[in-house]
Structure 1
Amino acid sequence: MNVKFRNQTTKWLLAMAFLCCPLVMNATPHQEVQNTKIQLNLKKASILDVLKSIEAQTQLSFVYNNELKALQKRVDFSYQSDSVDSILQKLATEYGVSFLCIHNSISVKVNAPKATADRRPIKGTVVDEKGIPIPGVSVVVKGTSIGVATDFDGNFSLEVPTDAQTLVFSSIGYHSQEVTIGKNTQFKVVLKEDTTELDEVVVVGYGVQKRGDVTTAIASVKAKDLEDKAVSSVAEAMVGKMPGVHIAQNTGAPGANLQVRVRGVGTITAGTAPLYVVDGVPLAKEDLNTFNNNDIESIQVLKDASSAAIYGSRGSNGVVLITTKKGAEGKPSFSYNTYLSIQNVSKKIDLLNAYEYADLVKDARNNSYADRMESINKRRAARSQAPISFSSADDNATRLKNTNNDYNTIIPIELQPYLQGVQGLTDTDWQDEIFRTAVMTNHSVSISGGTPNLKYYSSLDYLNQDGIVIGTNFERIGLRLNLDGKTGIFKFGASLNPSFVKEDKVNANGAYNENGGGVIASALHYAPIFPVYNPDGTFSFAQNEWSASTTTMVNGVKRIGNSQTQAWNPVALARLTSNQTKANRLLGKVYAEAEFLKGLSYKMDFGFDIFSDAQSTFKPSTIPLSNTAGNPPSEAEATSQTSQRYNWVFEQTLNYNKNFGEHHLNALGGWTMQYQRDESNYMFANGFISNSIQTLNAGTVTRGNSQASEWALLSALARLQYSYKSKYMLSAALRADGASRFGNNNKWGYFPSLSAGWRVTGEDFMQNVKFLTDLKLRASYGLTGNFRIPNYGAQGEFSYYSYVLGGSSPAVVKGMGASALPNPNLQWEKTAQLNVGFDASLWKGLLNLGLDLYNSNTYDLLLNVPIPRTTGFATRLENIGKVNNKGIEINLSSNINWGKWNFEPYFNYSKNINTVKELGPGNADIISSGSIANAYFITRVGESIGSYYLPVVEGVFKNQAEVDASLHYIDTPNNYDYQTSRPGDFKFKDVNGDGRLDILDTDRAIVGNYLPKFTYAFGTGISYENFDFKVDFQGVYGNQILNLSRRYFYNHEGNMNNYRGALNRWKSESNPGSGMNVRANRVSKGQNGVTSTWHVEDGSYLRIKNITLGYNLPKNISKYFSNVRLYCSIQNLYTFTNYEGYNPEVSNRTDATTSGEDYGVYPLARTFTLGLNLKF
């Protein structure tokens, strides 16, 4: 390669790095090592004794000269779980020395008095051993703060004191060098490469492995990534940190779980959530809101089948490994973390005000009147009768007379003052009434330490989060105790994590008319002309009554009819109803390990996850009957439901870990057994005499049920890991699972995996490629399964049925009959995945790059297949389908130090393509219904799972000429009920091209999907001296949302409030509006109300997820603490999106075939936080 070209290329690459991120250097240890906690207990020790002790506990090395050795001062040192950085700062003050870090090598020097003499100019160039200029090199006059950094060509110039003696040159990835100044004014300095590398250990399932030797696709989140996050769930702190792991916050309800999907969706009917394993214990329940973020040391996600195959039948959706903190030898170390957060709704939907709403109702009623009269006159013409004349100026009495009392055509008298422009009338913003500024507080205290034989970590955590919707709250109390001990050849330990959670909920996500009404949907629905409270202070239910009692005046007499849609007061729903859940969890394990021979150990673990909860609801009689004049009280109702889950796992493993010269071998073998039992009870009561006593015995229990189920898993596993010089790496694993859930002919499944890696930079021919610090190629293939199916899906099931028998004296007799056929061949859904990728580090960590390509095939999908009716059943569960996921993941990061500055930018990108390959015999489409009529999803071969299957809207008819020139709906003979398309109605596409419109059946098309085309995240961390700043962005592109709220809030019927976009509706041929908003019409026939592409929106977004500014108090101020940190942060600051709803991450449902709906969900909160961290 041409040297000149190579030099220019290197400089341009470095220049690009400079432009993308401000190059800075830091005279402190590498960030990972800088935060390493160690313990020192030394009596009358010298500074050299301290440095040697630090070297023994970390991967740091210290370089010093005889000046340091000459320091004779000896003092006592006692540091308990302090960071290396804080200890070095104390040494600097105690001994008058300074430290300069070059990656993990630290130069120590005795400070010299600062020069005060006159200065003189010097200049020079810094190159590497190949003569290539090095930009960004720190050039400092020894013993002073005078210095500069080299430019893109490696040049520097500065003025130095005339008595200056030495220049210190340092740069990441190179050994520092001291150069005597003397009388020289021109310098050329050659820096030598520093090959020291921090090779951290990562958890890989049933063990650990050096990151440099990992040959599979594993994503990681460390404790520092979870810090300063005011969240109730660990998953929320993981958002955007790992490529290939899509975490969606579908709802902003306090304490709600997030949806986690690893590399897309690979199943149609089985579960899509990953397996969660905490300290080696598989969780029985996926609630991560019971864990304290401050307890977590690291999180690893096993993304490819090779890494997850060690978990066999439960690994196809990925595996999330959570490791909690452990104690370290030394005196007790205390920490206290607290924060106070203020939350408000991150977005409000722009709705019509009361006057705009009144105008919409008037427009809708006038159009309905015109349509109705046109239909009536068509009927009259068919009977040779004269038409009835009519006008939009007709009063209500005339309208009722002409339409035979059609109340959809009148203009309610309640709206007359608004239409007349009377000011100061009721104009309620119902969103303001249900949303509030909410407070969240957290307190977490921990203690850790230990002796050589017993180490401990314990914590206590309290979280209280009020929701931004009135009536909602999440409260958690958690305790953790981790013990690890050893004696002789034995190691032993235990962990215990009890927690208590209390949740107060409202029916936030339901439809406006669902079970009393969803609070969010009702607030959007409710007419702004009505107040929250009546004059006597009671809740107003005016719209609920209005739906049954729409009033008008006829000849001076008030007449009542039904023409509005009912809705309950959302404030009353939130305040009067109760829905509370109390849950207890006990998670823990005990273990014992013995090393019989060097490198050969036997380990026994027993883990458990016991979960119980109790939910009680009460709807008082003060919530009136639906759609009933006078708002009479309803019947009070209450429910009580309890559930218990008992899960335990017992494992025995044998591990052999040995180095043979430059060969390393790790072998694992073992077996596990796991059992789980679920129990639940449910009761419903009504007939309460009083709303004050809400226990079930105050009413009459009218129905109830109890259920119990169980499953068991028996497994054998083996894994072999081999490496030679950490250059050639090979890993193979096999797991055999026997499960009670599957058929007798397929109880056992076998899940093998193989992976290999090649560290290219370890080869001799790569030694001259200096810019490439590390390059490792990886390839893996594995087979995993999906365990998430019904416990008894393979077995024949019986159900109870009631029959009336007895002839003249009939009686109800309960019997039992078969409800499902057995399938002894039922087995796991299996995922075979091929993964290739590489990990690279350039310019000594200046740029780190990871890339993965994968192709995953999930086959033997579980689908209900039609069977002959002669069996007495319609379908049976079979293994017949196949789905493919393939994609690419990119991860970029950097860690740049420059003087007192540190800069850590990152970027990640994930693209996944989901395709259905097979759906059994005939590959028949799977059509699934949405939450409202005519909203359909389709799963079809060649398409993605759960695509939207809807009529296609091509626009709105602007005038009659467009109607006449286009295919449109026409009233059928003798049916003149608004069906004919008119100007202002939707224009639909003839999808199948048969010349007729049938949008309820054949004229539908696949018009989008909830799965994104790609996800991405980027951000940076910046620190200067005691200040630090972090910002995280997270985004999704290419997904669509089926916004079913538009079905009601853009229907322009005037029977409920509408989005403000209704102002752009079609009003006349001369005022056609936006060209996409239909005309107002109280009766949305003509198919304007059918769910269509009009209800599909782009769900792409970019969110400012987190901004944090922190400050660590100087040691001289916080002398009683090893560290005092203050910080402030903002979460969910702003979302850039074209989506009209609250949250583009919304999904009213979470199953694979019908996700992506918005039907009024709990919005996300914007959170402002002030926090304090103390360590002592």
Structure 2
Amino acid sequence: MNQRLLCFLFALTSLIGQSFAQNRQVSGRVTSASTGNAIGGVSVAVVGTSVATQTDAEGSYTLSVPTNSTISFSSVGFEAQRIPVDGRTVINVVLTDGTEALDEVVITGYARIQKKTFAGASSSVRMEDFSRQTVGSLDAALQAAAPGVSVVGQSGQPGTNAIVRIRGNGSINGGNAPLYILDGMEISAADFASMNSSDFASVDILKDAVSSAIYGSRGANGVIVLTSKKGSQGPIKFNYRSQFGFSNLPKDRLITMNSSQKIDYEMQRGNPYGWSDEEADSLRNVNFRWTDALLQKGKTQEHSIEAAGGGENSTYFGSLSYFDQDGVVKTTGLKRYTARVNLDGKKGSWRFGLNVSGGFSKMNRTVEGDTYTNTPLNAARWSNPYETDKIPGTDLWNQDRGGGPGNLISGQPNGAMELALDYNWRNQIKGLGTSYVEFHFPFLDGLYARTNWGIDYTQNENAIFNDPRTSGAQARNGSLQRNMDRNFRYTGTTSLNYSGKFEDHEITAGIFAEVVKNDYRRFGFTGYGFTNGFNNETGITAGSGTNTNYIPSVFGDGNQAGLLSYFAMANYGYKDKYYLNLVGRRDGSSRFGINRRYANFGSIGATWSISDEEFIKQVPVISNLQLRASYGSNGNAGDAEYPLPLFGRITYAGVSGWSPSEAGNPDLTWEISKTTNVGVNFGLWQNRIFGSVDVYNRETSNLFYNIPVDPASSGFTTILGNSGTMTNSGVEVDLSVDVIRNNDLKWTIGGNFTYNKNRIKSLPQDSLVQGITILAEGHALNSYFLVNYAGVNPENGNAQYYDLDGNIVEGTAYNASYKVIQGTSDAPYFGGVFTSFSYKGFDFAAQASFFIGRKLFNNDMVNLTHPQYYWDNLSVDMLNEWQNPGDITNVPRPGTSGGNAFQQETTRYLENANFWRLRNVTIGYNLPASVLDKAKIRSLRVFVQGQNWLTATKYKNYDPELVTNGAHSGAVYPTMVQTTFGVNIGF
């Protein structure tokens, strides 16, 4: 879209807004007490309603409000104020520099609530910190941003969403991801690759029951509420943002052998390839770096333009963005295009709004998270260093030289060849639209009705192609898997709300009715026989009865689900010191049988503003002190369809038919989480030191669990039911200190810390072993279950282990019954620290994250230290194998005779995965207005920012953060170390 078309779009929306009739208004200007300068971007909201705006660059605002309402003014770095209107039409406000989180607005998705009046445990993410980071999926930017929120990556592939947990895991089979709400609509984290994070104005994280109980059956795992940017009154303003940068591979702590080391090791193991002395000497000097053939320096560029403005009765905001990021693995990357238009208007007692956004993204991916030899990410380590990707001096792939087509001499697939010839991509189309109509009743100030409706449409198109020349693809001359899925969700919420203040009493209340409907469909096929040179559908050979090798496979499925809810919320305040929050909700879900379809949820919370008591006002050191307490319940409905048995397609003797694929359970119902929370907000010495402390206990009952049943009755060995209890209890601390705070210089340091203790309280089957993990009462989810490794017997080189009594036994006496619970992959201690510094036009900010008490099973190390895998490359640790009696080493002799069989399910491969990471660093400079005025530019900022520049850990791999099913299972795409340079221009 060119600039002319963009200008036309915003001019059109402005004309539409100007058509609304004038209404009674309050206007004014907001300035800083310390400098007297105007403050732009201040949140101006009518307490207890959704009516809000922001000040423009000159600090001016205009807002239509009821006569007896109260307006809140809040901005980062200033103490918020609440001012009664009392019939005035002009209210100028002076904000005092101070805390950035003591009295701000909390957005729950259904209402804006002053934090002073709110008993819930919530965190608001600073948008300037959030928008600094150049990420393909915006949830990755939440790491270390708030206490109680654990964010770890599951892949470094551009656009892949992170694993986010709020106050731990609360379910075994029902899902633990939080609920994401954008402008009142539920969205999925998997769709963030097609959304522009710069479009968001606020991110609020709701953690306890009084915060999230209003979402009832969807809020058990916490709620992350995002709101998009709005326009502001005044002339149209444009902002352009651009970034360019590069990314590199992080440090690899799992070192493999070079050519000389590997040849010497092979000779020690009997020269399996039969190298002559001349061949061996030649190969020792090759030292080919497979990482150079498979990996690259990635590049990133981002461009976005925003426009905002409005008149007395309408405001508008629009944006366009382009994001292009190459991954550190060749051929991988993300391209994204997004557009957004937000309109808000008013006429008399009516309010209108429309938010529309669209996005398109293309992710080029590579296979990861497995241990297959044809995965390029595995080949980077497993391929021998004396072999090359191409025949030296040619452009021909090195293959079929003893190992077969597509293979190296070792029989290992040529990973570089597969990465270049195969492809794996996903195209996503994302559309979001929300609209609202609001009517303020003229006969009673503070009473209004609102209806909000929105749609969320996601369409994914996927393709995975295996070239017929690559290893393992020759049997059917290659394959192409294509599939398409789409998900359509609509949400409608209608409410009647009231907000009023009578002498010492303040009441905000609302009753709501809501419907959510979701429709999902998927279909696809896998075709074979690429013999005509094409690598798309044109290349597929049609299968037949006489050519069965090329008969394609097809698949498809879908589901529908609906949720009907009625709920109410009420907040009561007395003398601006005592507050009570109440929420009640009843949900009915199609996911459950008719007998268990409805459930009730609710919460109660109370807040005492102690610092407003006369006896505390006499203590000058205390600027703010609030005590909060809450208790309530939420639900978790999971993702599958449970009431009736599910059937799937089956073929027997060439005949297609139906077969039960999942047993139904009409008595299945919600998992129920009940949370108790006690918290304190505090500010000291004029809020130079401020923060909060929360203590919580969350208990989840009616866990979704596969309960064993007699297969003779149904053919199934288990049926999904409700049984078991799990708890999460912990402490959250958030602290900030303004070390220096004056007109030109400000320095702030702070951080957050979380301790979360996860425990399975009861199960129908205690100590259920699942590979290397165990579900056991009294222990955490994702607990490891392994035999303790005791090293190597220096006399004979045999591996040694501990039995259950702590005695050392040799491999001849190894028994899997010696397994004991070892720890968990979920860190019980985590958090972050930050600092920000500004002097006149210069600014500096840095943020680090940490995870403590975390263990990971290093499956990459298993494959690189297995003594029978010596045909391929190995870890340098294998150079320390036991050789002679008296050798002191941790690596057993390679033979299996004498009971020295290789055992991998031991603590030999369980490693300390604690880490500290310098998550983000930003250095910027804002050019002074005296320079910009000459060029007629409103603002200009240049900056450089880095991500993941430094990681401190003892874990032997690229990244201690990335996990797959609780353990590194091989082929994990490393996190990128990134540096970008950027500019922000306002005009």
Q: Which of the five TM-score ranges fits, normalised by the shorter chain?
A: 0.7 to 0.9
Tell me, in whole angstroms, the C-alpha distance in 2 between the residues paired with 1:703 and 1:999. Answer: 45
- Closer/same/farther in 2, CA of residues 230 and 681 from structure 1, 3 Å limit: same
- Closer/same/farther in 2, CA of residues 592 and 823 from structure 1, 3 Å limit: same
- The answer to whether residue 30 in structure 2 is matched with residue 58 in structure 1 is yes
For 1:926, the equivalent position in structure 2 comes to 768
> Retained in 2: the 8 A contact 1:865–1:877?
yes
Secondary structure at the residue paired with 1:915?
Answer: strand
For 1:275, the equivalent position in structure 2 comes to 179
State the Cα distance separating 1:871 from its structure 2 match: 1.4
- Closer/same/farther in 2, CA of residues 248 and 1084 from structure 1, 3 Å limit: farther
For 1:1133, the equivalent position in structure 2 comes to 949
TM norm structure 1: 0.73
Describe how 1:806-955 pairs up with structure 2 within 5 A. Answer: 812-872=654-714, 873-895=716-738, 896-920=740-764, 923-929=765-771, 936-955=772-791
Bigger mean CA offset, 461-470 vs 288-297: 288-297
| Deviation per residue, 1:1020-1070 (Å, 9 max, x gap) | 000011100011111101110011111111224422212223333323224
Tell me, in whole angstroms, the C-alpha distance in 1 between the residues paired with 2:610 and 2:847. Answer: 33
Q: Pick the aligned partner of 1:794 from 629, 637, 643.
A: 643
For 1:439, the equivalent position in structure 2 comes to 299
State the Cα distance separating 1:1090 from its structure 2 match: 2.7
Which structure has the greater CA radius of gyration?
1
> Retained in 2: the 8 A contact 1:308–1:784?
yes
> Retained in 2: the 8 A contact 1:464–1:475?
yes
For 2:855, the equivalent position in structure 1 comes to 1040
Describe how 1:282-431 pairs up with structure 2 within 5 A. Answer: 282-284=186-188, 286-348=190-252, 349-365=254-270, 410-414=271-275, 416-417=277-278, 419-420=280-281, 422=282, 425-431=285-291
> Retained in 2: the 8 A contact 1:1041–1:1158?
no
Describe how 1:429-508 pairs up with structure 2 within 5 A. Answer: 429-508=289-368
| Deviation per residue, 1:33-85 (Å, 9 max, x gap) | xxxxxxxxxxxxxxxxxxxx999243756999xxxxxxxxxxxxxx9932659
For 2:431, the equivalent position in structure 1 comes to 586
- The answer to whether residue 503 in structure 2 is matched with residue 656 in structure 1 is no
- Closer/same/farther in 2, CA of residues 677 and 998 from structure 1, 3 Å limit: farther
Tell me, in whole angstroms, the C-alpha distance in 2 between the residues paired with 1:1109 and 1:1021. Answer: 10
For 1:741, the equivalent position in structure 2 comes to 591
Tell me, in whole angstroms, the C-alpha distance in 2 between the residues paired with 1:484 and 1:549. Answer: 61
Secondary structure at the residue paired with 1:227?
Answer: helix
Letter in 2 for 1:832: K
Q: Pick the aligned partner of 1:1171 from 963, 979, 982.
A: 982
Letter in 1 for 2:890: M
Give the unaligned 5+ runs of structure 2: 1-24, 37-53, 61-75, 82-94, 543-550
For 1:165, the equivalent position in structure 2 comes to none
Q: Pick the aligned partner of 1:1004 from 819, 825, 830.
A: 819
Tell me, in whole angstroms, the C-alpha distance in 2 between the residues paired with 1:1098 and 1:1084. Answer: 31
| Deviation per residue, 1:628-666 (Å, 9 max, x gap) | xxxx78621111100010100111011101111232110
> Retained in 2: the 8 A contact 1:938–1:947?
yes
Tell me, in whole angstroms, the C-alpha distance in 1 between the residues paired with 2:756 and 2:402. Answer: 47
Secondary structure at the residue paired with 1:426?
Answer: coil
> Retained in 2: the 8 A contact 1:173–1:844?
no
| Deviation per residue, 1:234-255 (Å, 9 max, x gap) | 1122211101001111211111
Tell me, in whole angstroms, the C-alpha distance in 2 between the residues paired with 1:550 and 1:220. Answer: 54
State the Cα distance separating 1:912 from its structure 2 match: 0.5
For 1:988, the equivalent position in structure 2 comes to 801
For 2:900, the equivalent position in structure 1 comes to 1086
Tell me, in whole angstroms, the C-alpha distance in 2 between the residues paired with 1:475 and 1:197. Answer: 36
> Retained in 1: the 8 A contact 2:401–2:408?
no
Tell me, in whole angstroms, the C-alpha distance in 1 between the residues paired with 2:658 and 2:259. Answer: 58
> Retained in 1: the 8 A contact 2:78–2:99?
no
Letter in 2 for 1:839: N
- The answer to whether residue 453 in structure 2 is matched with residue 606 in structure 1 is yes
Secondary structure at the residue paired with 1:723?
Answer: strand
- Closer/same/farther in 2, CA of residues 491 and 917 from structure 1, 3 Å limit: same
- Closer/same/farther in 2, CA of residues 924 and 1124 from structure 1, 3 Å limit: same
Tell me, in whole angstroms, the C-alpha distance in 2 between the residues paired with 1:269 and 1:227. Answer: 34
- Closer/same/farther in 2, CA of residues 615 and 1140 from structure 1, 3 Å limit: same
Secondary structure at the residue paired with 2:403?
Answer: helix
State the Cα distance separating 1:104 from its structure 2 match: 6.6
Tell me, in whole angstroms, the C-alpha distance in 2 between the residues paired with 1:1164 and 1:105. Answer: 39
| Deviation per residue, 1:1081-1112 (Å, 9 max, x gap) | 59997232433111111110001111111001
* Matched-pair identity in %: 27
| Deviation per residue, 1:954-1003 (Å, 9 max, x gap) | 111111xxxxxxxxxxxxxxxxxxxxxxx223101222689897655312
> Retained in 1: the 8 A contact 2:610–2:626?
yes
For 2:16, the equivalent position in structure 1 comes to none
Aligned residues: 899
For 2:873, the equivalent position in structure 1 comes to 1057
- Closer/same/farther in 2, CA of residues 624 and 789 from structure 1, 3 Å limit: closer
Secondary structure at the residue paired with 1:1002?
Answer: helix
Tell me, in whole angstroms, the C-alpha distance in 1 between the residues paired with 2:596 and 2:211. Answer: 24
Tell me, in whole angstroms, the C-alpha distance in 2 between the residues paired with 1:413 and 1:196. Answer: 71
| Deviation per residue, 1:323-347 (Å, 9 max, x gap) | 1110011100100000001111122
Q: Pick the aligned partner of 1:1097 from 901, 911, 933.
A: 911
State the Cα distance separating 1:819 from its structure 2 match: 4.2
Secondary structure at the residue paired with 1:699?
Answer: coil
Secondary structure at the residue paired with 2:495?
Answer: strand
| Deviation per residue, 1:764-786 (Å, 9 max, x gap) | 11121110100000111110011
State the Cα distance separating 1:358 from its structure 2 match: 1.2
> Retained in 2: the 8 A contact 1:613–1:642?
yes
- Closer/same/farther in 2, CA of residues 854 and 1168 from structure 1, 3 Å limit: same
State the Cα distance separating 1:105 from its structure 2 match: 12
- Closer/same/farther in 2, CA of residues 998 and 785 from structure 1, 3 Å limit: farther
> Retained in 1: the 8 A contact 2:181–2:225?
yes
For 2:46, the equivalent position in structure 1 comes to none
Letter in 1 for 2:397: F
- Closer/same/farther in 2, CA of residues 618 and 104 from structure 1, 3 Å limit: closer
Secondary structure at the residue paired with 2:452?
Answer: strand
Secondary structure at the residue paired with 2:929?
Answer: coil
- Closer/same/farther in 2, CA of residues 285 and 1137 from structure 1, 3 Å limit: closer
Tell me, in whole angstroms, the C-alpha distance in 2 between the residues paired with 1:1035 and 1:293. Answer: 24
Describe how 1:949-964 pairs up with structure 2 within 5 A. Answer: 949-959=785-795
Secondary structure at the residue paired with 1:840?
Answer: strand
Tell me, in whole angstroms, the C-alpha distance in 1 between the residues paired with 2:770 and 2:898. Answer: 24
- The answer to whether residue 53 in structure 2 is matched with residue 81 in structure 1 is no
For 1:143, the equivalent position in structure 2 comes to none
Tell me, in whole angstroms, the C-alpha distance in 1 between the residues paired with 2:691 and 2:333. Answer: 42
State the Cα distance separating 1:573 from its structure 2 match: 1.5
| Deviation per residue, 1:783-814 (Å, 9 max, x gap) | 001121312x221223344444xxxxxxx433
Tell me, in whole angstroms, the C-alpha distance in 2 between the residues paired with 1:102 and 1:247. Answer: 26
Q: Pick the aligned partner of 1:245 from 142, 149, 167.
A: 149
Letter in 1 for 2:835: T
For 2:119, the equivalent position in structure 1 comes to 215
Tell me, in whole angstroms, the C-alpha distance in 1 between the residues paired with 2:402 and 2:315. Answer: 64
Describe how 1:1156-1167 pairs up with structure 2 within 5 A. Answer: 1156-1167=967-978
Q: Pick the aligned partner of 2:521 from 665, 679, 686.
A: 679
TM norm structure 2: 0.87
> Retained in 2: the 8 A contact 1:673–1:713?
yes
Please give the root-mean-square deviation of Cα atoms over the aligned residues, in Å.
Answer: 2.8
Secondary structure at the residue paired with 1:470?
Answer: coil
Tell me, in whole angstroms, the C-alpha distance in 2 between the residues paired with 1:416 and 1:504. Answer: 44
Tell me, in whole angstroms, the C-alpha distance in 2 between the residues paired with 1:437 and 1:105. Answer: 46
Q: Pick the aligned partner of 2:465 from 607, 615, 618.
A: 618
Describe how 1:959-974 pairs up with structure 2 within 5 A. Answer: 959=795
Letter in 2 for 1:713: L
For 2:565, the equivalent position in structure 1 comes to 715
